[in-house]
Amino acid sequence: MKKDHVGIIFGGVLLLVVAMGISRFAFTPILPFMRHDVGFSVEVASYLASSNYIGYFVGALWAGFIIQKRKGWLLIAAFINVGSVVWMGITDSYSLWLILRFVAGVTGGLVFVLTSSIVMDYLARHALSSWSGYLFSGIGLGIAISGLLVPYLEAAYTWKGTWLGLGALSLFFILVTGFLWRKLHVTDLTKSPKKQDAHTPKLTKGFMPWFIAAYGLEGLGYIITGTFLVDIIHNIPALQAYSSLSWVIAGIAAVPSAPIWSMLITKYSPIKVLSIAYILQVFGILLPVFSQSIGSVLLSAFLFGMTFVGIVTMSTAYARQLFPTRSGPVVSILTTFYAFGQIIGPLGASKFASHYNSYNAALWFAGIMVFVGVCIMWIGALVNRPSRKTQTIV
């Protein structure tokens, strides 16, 4: 692979580190420290999380309408995203926290969809689509970075300094991407014609609605572990010392997962490989319910990291395979429903956790939603089996 290609991919990886691994998921390892120092409940934490996911919903939907000057919009969103992270460490206002997490979500959604679209289009033009999995390793890399840095930054500068330190690191990553992408020319997209070719599958028909519904339920279920994993472990006295380590394990597992899962769907049935990932994730979500040993919680973290980025990567790539000429809209609609599930997830989890005074009920809720998602995906695949001439479903 040429040096220029590596630079484009690495720049995209750094943007996902910023928008997903740090801006979005650093909240997970910081949450126990914020709850301890400020004293808010799980329910309050769920409002902050859902505010971010509502913003992500808006940003992902908005990104689907951006067809011109995508690179410019992307960089503007990235800088605003960093500002929202830094400001979290400056203010003590809960109302402002809600707004800042919303802004981080909007800009994060924009960065994720636009980065995915730009980089994957670039790779497709150069016959390098098989390398797209490496782009999404940025999510896991960001999670691992936040998991490693948060305990040290918090010990030295409290949770406020943690947000500031991560914001400074994010700014550095964006500047590096700007340098790597300085010669990247991003072409404008064309509006989809109102009258589509008869042979072009529609987003609203066939297998796709089932696939979107399954992906939305995946978003609803996985985000409960993604939001509360560290806090769950932090509140088990015997395992408290391993809470931050669990997030590092999740990130490390996520880094190679994207290319590995991407390779698997090119060799085997995408739906079957996705189903395996969904089932492994269900097992990982429910594992802490049945066993709260060091090994079980770290295995839970590993399965979470290994599957959630892989599912994002495979779902996005598979949707692009079904709709190769509509990468922007298809990535946007998938991400939008995924984000909608994420809005509901923390709110539902907090209700279960508060009612039963335990995270176990929330984890059951999460696991069941992901399992229902994989069932819906298979029902859709079976119902639409006759359409295999136009779509490779199973």
Alpha helices by DSSP H, the chain: 3-16, 27-38, 42-63, 70-88, 94-125, 132-135, 137-180, 208-234, 243-267, 270-290, 294-322, 327-356, 360-383
The pair of three-digit structure tokens given for residue 165, joined into one six-digit string: 């330190």
Which pLDDT does position 296 carry in this prediction?
Answer: 93
* CATH number of the domain where residue 361 is located: 1.20.1250.20
Amino acid identity, residue 163? Answer: W
Round to whole Å and give the CA distance between 166 and 173. 11
For residues 17 and 65, the answer to whether their CB atoms sit within 8 Å is: no
| Number of domains forming the structure of the chain | 1
CB 284 within 8 A of CB 300: yes
Q: What percent of the chain has pLDDT over 90?
A: 54
Query: In whole angstroms, what is the distance from residue 325 CA to residue 127 CA?
Result: 15
> Looking at the domain assignment, is residue 191 inside a domain?
no
Give the per-residue pLDDT at 187: 79
Domain assignment present for residue 328? The answer is: yes
Terminal C-alpha separation, the chain: 32
Beta carbons within 10 angstroms of residue 152's beta carbon: 12
User: 194 lies in a domain?
Assistant: no
- The answer to the question of residue 321 being in a domain is yes
Is the residue at 193 inside a domain? no
Give Cα 322 to chain centroid, integer Å: 21
Mean per-residue pLDDT of the chain: 88
**Shortest CA distance to 278 belongs to which of 182, 192, 193, 214?**
214
Q: How far apart are CA 112 and CA 17, in angstroms?
A: 10
Q: For the residues 214-231, what does the mean pLDDT come to?
A: 92
Domain assignment present for residue 192? The answer is: no
Q: Does the pLDDT of residue 389 top 80, yes or no?
A: no
76-80, 82-86, 186-190: range with lowest mean pLDDT? 186-190
Confidence class for position 29, pLDDT limits 50, 70, 90: very high
pLDDT bin (cut points 50, 70, 90) of residue 251 is very high
Pair 206, 323: CB distance under 8 Å: no
Given a cut of 80, whether residue 96 has pLDDT beyond it is yes
CA separation (Å) from 89 to 36, 97, 150, 166?
A: 16, 10, 13, 10
Whether residue 194 has pLDDT greater than 90: no
- At residue 325, the pLDDT reads 60
Least confident among 24-33, 60-69, 198-207:
198-207
Residue 195 lies in a domain: no
Question: Nearest Cα to 184, choosing from 21, 368, 4, 43?
Answer: 4
Q: 158: alpha, beta or left, given left = phi > 0 and alpha = psi -120 to 50?
A: left
Residue-level pLDDT at 357: 84
Cβ proximity of 255 and 20 under 8 Å: no
CA-to-CA distance for 78 and 182, rounded, in angstroms?
16
Specify whether the CB–CB gap between 381 and 272 falls below 8 A: no
What's the Cα-to-Cα distance from 24 to each of 107, 127, 160, 351, rounded to whole Å? Answer: 10, 31, 16, 22
Do the beta carbons of residue 140 and residue 251 sit within 8 Å? yes
Q: Tokens 């199973």: give the residue.
A: 394
| Domain assignment of residue 296, yes or no | yes
Q: Please spell the DSSP secondary structure of 179-205, one letter per residue.
A: HHTTT---PPP-PPPSS--TTSPPTTS
The predicted pLDDT at position 388 comes to 44
* φ, ψ (nearest 5 deg) of residue 299: -65, -40
Residues 6+ apart with CB under 8 A from 108: 19, 20, 23, 24, 52, 55, 56, 59, 81
Q: Are 286 and 186 in contact (CB under 8 A)?
A: no
Lowest mean pLDDT among 152-161, 191-200, 369-378: 191-200
Domain around 291: 3-184+201-389
